[in-house]
Structure 1
């Protein structure tokens, strides 16, 4: 099979890494990140990831967004925790906005977990609507217990909201259990096993490409995952008025569109993949 030409490529500043978007099938967009050695969630990585999501929303037809890693061993090994603590506003201005973006994205999102997803990398996968996992390689693990880091409210909340079994939640956090693919599927952590071909079959069978067309998909998710979103917004008490939410969403959309416009100006003259 010939390589799929990229729709666009965004460098990860300060490293030799990049975030590449391709289209393996009609209206199915694959974001592949490659930030050696293990896709740590650094400020530059998060910024490039966010921009890729913005470009796909505002410059391409509605479809399905899949994320995966070009590094066979790791989907993501999480935060560089010490540097994250030293970086002013890292959680509130960098990490949490990406997680919120994924959690309320107006298209279906699927994390294609090809290797290990630990700590923040595992949390990032949980912010997607669905998860597919390599059946032969990789573990899912919250290892905060092992390196002595507390779980922030949204970090714990997303697992509490999405895991069907509270005993799985307990074992995951209080025992730092490593879940291989078959057990992860059994416990409802992932929705399927396989690589891109199996994932594309899942998308076809569930007709996911059509789910975002009505324009309400992201808003429905915002209501579904309200507890986690309130923690991500640093507003833990009660729901905000709908008008306030709508005003904030419009402001955020303007900022997202501005980033895409700036990116296009900086890359004027470059050829990118076809738009459907």
Structure 2
């Protein structure tokens, strides 16, 4: 497939390449035997952004900057259509954040990570994340900020594994899961660090379908997504849908202040609880004399 454009990721020698899928010879599918055949899908309005940033597509400032540029190029230089993101690395869609880079980069969360999350959740075209392999931690968050997700049915897991390595999830990281998942699925992902394969992810609503790029094209055709951005209000509709999520993304300082308040109150309750335990121990010791 001929590249429409390429954006480099200098820090890893990687790239984000934009292509169209192959043209469909006819209607992509019919919903049922009684459904009317759908018109031929215009695949020139399906834009596949394939990111390849070795070894595992970590969400670094360089990666995010390149991704944001690719989204800007599509919005301002191409007809409205559908944006599909996927990985050129077979094993990983994205392995999330590079914690060393995060710790060494001032303002990483609000200047890069929250920015790309906000861009996706308000993007003025339909967005689909094609999970070809693992999507862990920040990689799963990035996928959740897309409108739809299609996952490899036989390879890869989605997982929020921050619990395993002791990194608490911040408010914007939680907000999109709270908005899109059932409470039970949200709980299992966060408090069990559960690794979920494709079929189970579909069953519990984390993803919207299973397959590869062919199934993505079929999904777009069945839902008529290639024309949904044509009226010019697609992004506005998403802004209203996800008003609460956007509010959390835009209030970085407020989120930090809330966390400080929670930690302060928790510290007081912990000291009070320890005093009660020590008093109980003294009474127990005295009773045994």
TM-score over 0.5 (shorter chain):
yes
Identify which of 185, 191, 205 aligns with 2:222: 205
Partner residue of 2:111?
A: 93
Partner residue of 1:5?
A: 2
Question: Does the 8 Å CA contact 2:93/2:134 hold for their aligned counterparts?
Answer: yes
Q: 2 CA distance for matches of 1:35 and 1:72?
A: 12
Partner residue of 2:20?
A: 23
Q: What secondary structure is seen at the aligned counterpart in 1 of 2:20?
A: strand
Partner residue of 1:245?
A: none
Partner residue of 2:207?
A: 190
Establish whether residue 32 from structure 1 lines up as the match of residue 29 from structure 2: no
Q: 1 CA distance for matches of 2:12 and 2:169?
A: 28
Partner residue of 2:90?
A: 72
Structure 1 segment 1-276 matched on structure 2, within 5 A = 4-24=1-21, 25-163=43-181, 165-234=182-251
Partner residue of 2:26?
A: none
Deviations 1:42-77 (A, max 9, x none): 100000000000000000000000000000000000
Question: Does the 8 Å CA contact 1:230/1:236 hold for their aligned counterparts?
Answer: no
Residues 76 and 124 of structure 1: is their aligned pair in 2 closer, same or farther, counting only changes over 3 Å?
A: same
Deviations 1:13-64 (A, max 9, x none): 1221001001112200000000000000010000000000000000000000
Question: Does the 8 Å CA contact 2:110/2:252 hold for their aligned counterparts?
Answer: no
Of structures 1 and 2, the larger Rg is shown by: 2
Give the TM-score taking structure 2 as reference length.
0.79
Q: 1 CA distance for matches of 2:117 and 2:103?
A: 18
Give the TM-score taking structure 1 as reference length.
0.83
Equivalent residue pairs, number? 233
Q: What secondary structure is seen at the aligned counterpart in 2 of 1:26?
A: helix
